[in-house]
Structure 1
């Protein structure tokens, strides 16, 4: 449902003069990083298809750690199973799931066996607790005694084997990084002493697995011209294709830099690893999202939501829920259609062009809540709240959001998702994109029937800037659990509005 803009337009800034340079550096005896000439200028609109999407790959260390856990669990099952005890296979599978949830297989720069000991202990305790809780539940329901000795032995033995194998894998990985130069080809985006310090530290300490290939430099990173933003993203993509770059480190401390934001978003979408050098890095405390390159903290961004397995589950959920909902509410759909037809005639369904994923247009479906308007009005009128042409039926279906039910068909088709930023008309997308630099970033995921902004009270005549912040927060922190929370809160809000 659309709402009126309340933000004043920011004064246009003078277009800065910008120059991007990609400097590929090779170590020279007795000297640090000597620049070697820049490649030909890359442009986002002319980049070949092979350049646009470098293939993502799973890290070798991460794969090896997964295999060690599988081998450890299998070994424990083979040792304990011949004793005839039950539940050993289930316990091993449970242990693997908990260790994965504890992020013991995550990508990391510092390969330290000791750093993971707290996670190892936590995974062991959680698994043991789940095994004991499951045994107690079975005993109460089936009124039979469950022998937990087998599952407990499997969990303990698998953990001990995993600890030994992990130590060997991490030692071998460090050796390969130092002796054989095995590491992720890395590009640094930024200027100044901090960017150079990153470059020098990576070269001096190959055990962290980053092999710097060069810098993307800009004389002025405060970029506002759209083609310059695209040029920065295109240069990173070009470097990824030409030099097999797998990691991009952003060492830019300019404030409100839309070009760097766009480049980081595109790098994540292309499957590249993205690390950020935080501002005031000396005050950054270690936590699960912080990596250390020696004493330099780097924030590792999680993979782009659409590159995760859980995103495929989100799409599967959209299909199942929308299909079931259409079947269950079909009588209600018929009733609303008849009511709209009686009140204001045909057409019952209102079709309007909206902007969805990757700024692609699609046709959104809604029950019509007022008499037909001309083509120009539906594209330029922001809100119809208080419009005299909205009758009693129109007011009811708008207040209860019943007018949005046909969008279940949009979700089933794949135009939309159940949860995501709300779609807007092309003319307003163009206007808000000019007024709010972060507005276009919300189109990097599919639009939704409901969203975080809507359940946060940002409906009707509310701030566009606040909506943009909520939408981008949702994308940055997306998870299936966050989607579930939004759906539940949306249902609760609809029930409340239906009572009034």
Structure 2
């Protein structure tokens, strides 16, 4: 088994990062001054560039430690690495520019700095991707494993085991279960690793050097045993993780807060509750919606003319929807149906071959052109480019009684497109599945996640068979 000490792995990562940055530095120097691809005028000797390149590299390593870039990342996705690489090297580059200004080093080539910065980030992302992919393949084949012991063979422990089997790339294997109430699994769970003893036998089991982590998945009634269990695990030098018996009530990434000196679990921590995240998302919404309106202006004019020529009535259709903090607003769409009373449109679903649609309206819906006026909702502040789709108040009142956690979607601004829609949940599809996707988005929001959703919308979300 290839089981490396984490400190040794961290040292390897640091040496690898320094090596990559050195190679990139030399490559950038060659591109700038010897390749002939750009202006090659150089007023400083190579040693000056090497000095500042070395300072930059070590600064990046120090900042990497500060932002936890070199912390264990076995459970992290590759997007975490990408985000940290941008974070580390943006800070390092700004620090380098500040030091150059303070040292009055005005003759350093700005083109070289730009080439080095772009090549450096690209090379680090590529090499980290290769490492991550290689480790995943090795773990799938059974190498570089870590073994966990699960305390509790009940529903919580079994759920953790099943979830772990879905991610072989993480390289975790279950050593076995300890449980006070069952000597073996029920027949329908015989595929699980065996129950090898009781909780009282934990100290003896931990004598096995293979066990790396202990997962406590005991019911609330066993709370009195936690202190003894943790003490035994720490004595054996084994990490301890606790799955609360009420885990199904918690978000995917629970947030630990502190209130009056006591640790608290925030049941619904939302990244967009943070001011800097809200400012970033709102700024992006304004810039993106303005750009979208200008780019699609010919399509907007085409839709306006088409509606006017094919059916009597207004161009825009305005409908009350529920948005942020359960406040209602008027959402704009291009009218795709014949005129009807407001009560009908507010209380009826659109169905396949809906007789209320106009022929031109059916085209607008199938191509999502009818959604373009919602960019004006984004500019006003009622909506965001990406977020859960807003619903009519009439249906909200029904869904909040029938579908668990439905109202959580109103903790953020609704969107023109969302994670549910890019996964095919649009039109006449499961509301329950939509909410699952909406909650995942709310709890896991990031700027790059928004970009991913927008790209999926553009590449495969515009034409949809469920858009009636």
TM range (shorter): 0.5 to 0.7
Give the aligned partner of residue 134 of structure 1: 28
Task: Note the alpha carbon deviations across 1:3-35, whole angstroms, 9 max, x for none.
Answer: xxxxxxxxxxxxxxxxxxxxxxxxxxxxxxxxx
Q: How many residues align?
A: 294
CA contact (8 A) 1:369 1:397 kept: yes
State the partner residue of 1:396: 363
Q: Deviations over 1:109-137 (max 9, x none)?
A: xxx99996566546544544543443344
Distance in structure 1 (CA, Å) of the matches to 2:351 and 2:63:
65
Change (3 A) 1:307 1:165: closer
Per-residue CA distance 1:62-114 (angstroms, 9 max, x = gap): xxxxxxxxxxxxxxxxxxxxxxxxxxxxxxxxxxxxxxxxxxxxxxxxxx999
User: Runs of 5+ in structure 1 lacking a partner?
Assistant: 1-111, 168-189, 206-248, 278-300
What is the Cα-based RMSD across aligned positions, in Å? 4.4
Where does 1:344-359 land on structure 2 (aligned, <5 Å)? 344-359=311-326
Distance change >3 Å, CA 476–CA 303, structure 1 → 2: closer
Residues 1:492 and 2:390 are matched in the alignment:
no
Deviations 1:229-268 (A, max 9, x none): xxxxxxxxxxxxxxxxxxxx997422543xx559968969
Q: Which residue does 2:246 correspond to in 1? A: 254
Higher RCO, 1 or 2 (CA under 8 Å, sep at least 6)? 1
- Contact 1:262–1:441 at 8 Å: present in 2 too? no
Give the match's secondary structure for 1:142.
coil
TM-score, L = length of structure 1 = 0.49
Compared with structure 1, are the counterparts of its residues 148 and 322 closer, same or farther at alpha carbon in structure 2 (3 Å cutoff)?
Answer: farther
Distance across 2 between alignment mates of 1:266 and 1:320: 34
Distance, in Å, in 2 between the alignment partners of 1:369 and 1:361 is 22
1:204-251 deviation line (CA, Å, top 9, x unaligned): x9xxxxxxxxxxxxxxxxxxxxxxxxxxxxxxxxxxxxxxxxxxx997
Find the counterpart in structure 2 of residue 338 from structure 1: 305
1:327 lines up with 2:282 in the alignment: no
Partner of 2:393: 426
Partner of 1:437: 404
Q: What are structure 2's unaligned runs of at least 5 residues? A: 1-5, 66-218, 235-240
CA contact (8 A) 2:252 2:440 kept: no
Q: With the length of structure 2 as denominator, give the TM-score of the two structures.
A: 0.52
Residue matched to 2:272 = 305
Partner SS for 2:459: helix
Correspondence list, 1:173-322, <5 A? 194=223, 197=226, 252-254=244-246, 256-257=248-249, 304-307=271-274, 309-322=276-289
Judge conservation of contact 1:353–1:362 (CA < 8 Å) in 2.
yes
Question: Is 1:361 aligned with 2:257?
Answer: no
Structure 1 match to 2:419: 452
**1:376 aligned onto 2:272:** no
